[in-house]
Amino acid sequence: MDSYKIAAKLLQGARHAIAFTGAGISTESNIPDFRGTQGLWKRFDPRMASRGYFLEDPNGFWQFYAKRYEYIVGAEPNAAHKALSLLEEEGIIKSVITQNIDRLHSKAGSKSVLEVHGDIMMSRCDCCGEQVPTVECIKFYRDSGSAPTCGKCQGGLRPSIVLFEEPPDLIEAAFNIAHRSDLCLSVGSSLCVYPAAMVPEIVKRRGGHLIIINYDPTPLDGIADIVIREKASAALEAILKEFDGR
Ligand SMILES: [Zn+2]
C-alpha cells in the first residue's frame, strides 16, 4: 500500500484527529517560510523577530514586520488549507493547531483553529494591552518612518504575535488538545520550533499516529508512521482521493 492510501486509512480510523501546520502550508499562497531555500531567514536575521529587537530598535522591528505584513495581507488560502477545511467539515479533523500568523485556515473555512503564535492582523500596546489593527500601525510607520505608539499610554505597539524570547500563551491549550488526540497530521512544519513542535510529539508518545507532510526532513521523521516529502496541496489532494466512497 502506498503512503497516501495508508494516510487516508489512518485518518478515517482516527477517533480524534488534529492537523498541526507550519509555514510550509502557506508557501503555495506566496508567503515565504523561514528555513526553506527562499526562506525569510536567508534574507533577514531571525533576531528581527525577537522581543529584544523590538525593545532595542522599534523602527527596524517595524520595517521587518511591515514587510511580513505585506506578504500576508493579500494572500489567499491554497488547496492545502481547503483540504484541511474539508476534512473538518467531514468530521475527520477536529482542530487545526497552527504556528502560522496569516489567518489562512479561517479564510479557507476551518472553524476550530488555534493560532499558537498569534495573528499578525491585530497589534497591541506592549504596556497596557490596547488593541489596534496592524494596518493602522503600518500606515503610521510608512507615513512617519517611526514605530507606532499607543494613543492611551505612549507604550510601544507590536503585532499580537509571539516573538522569539516570549512564551506562546496558547500553548497549554494546544497541549491539552494533543493529549485528547489519537492522530496528528503535521503539514508544512519543519518541527524544530519548540514548544509548538511538542504537539505532534505528544500525540505520538501517547500512542497515537503521526503523519508528516513536509518538503524537507524533520527531527520527528523517525517516530512518524508515515512521512510524505511533497508539497502540501499535492499530498493532501492525493490523500483525499484515497478516501472510501469518493
Ligand atoms: Zn498603551
CATH of the domain at 55: 3.30.1600.10
Residues 144, 244 within the same domain? no
Do 172 and 212 share a domain, yes or no? yes
* Residue 125 Cα to ligand 1 middle (Å): 5
Distance 160 CA to ligand 1 centre (A): 13
Q: Domain total for the chain?
A: 2
Whether residues 132 and 54 share a domain: the answer is yes
Q: Quote the pLDDT of residue 37.
A: 82
**190 and 243 co-located in one domain:** yes
- Ligand 1 centroid–CA 61 distance in Å is 18
| Shared domain check, 138 and 81 | no
- Residue 246 confidence (pLDDT): 59
86, 202: one domain: yes
Predicted local confidence at residue 224, as pLDDT: 98
Domain boundary among 161, 185, 217: 161
Q: What pLDDT was estimated at residue 194?
A: 87
Of 161, 193, 221, which closes a domain? 161
Specify whether 57 is located in the same domain as 136.
yes
Residues 113 and 123 in one domain: no
Q: What's the pLDDT at 167?
A: 87
In terms of domains, do 221 and 157 share one? no
Residues 105, 130: one domain?
A: no
Query: Is residue 66 domain-shared with residue 187, that is, in the same domain?
Result: no
Catalytic site residue 117? yes
Domain that holds residue 208: 1-29+77-117+168-246
* Ligand 1 centroid, distance to 132 Cα (angstroms): 10
Same domain, 172 and 243: yes
Give me ligand 1 centre to Cα 127, in Å. Answer: 5
The model's pLDDT over 194-229, given as tens digits with 9 standing for 90+, comes to 899 999 999 999 999 999 999 999 999 999 999 999
Catalytic residue among 16, 81, 105, 117: 117
Q: CA angle at residue 181 from 23 to 207, to 5 degrees? A: 105
- 10-residue block means of pLDDT along the chain (246 residues)? 93 98 97 88 93 97 96 96 97 97 98 96 97 98 97 97 91 97 97 92 97 96 97 97 77
**Distance from the alpha carbon of residue 164 to the mean position of ligand 1, in angstroms:** 21
Q: What is the pLDDT of residue 193?
A: 86
What pLDDT is attached to residue 76?
98
Each residue of 10-28: pLDDT tens digit? 999 999 999 999 999 999 9
User: For position 184, which CATH number holds?
Assistant: 3.40.50.1220
The rounded Å distance from CA 239 to ligand 1 centre is 48
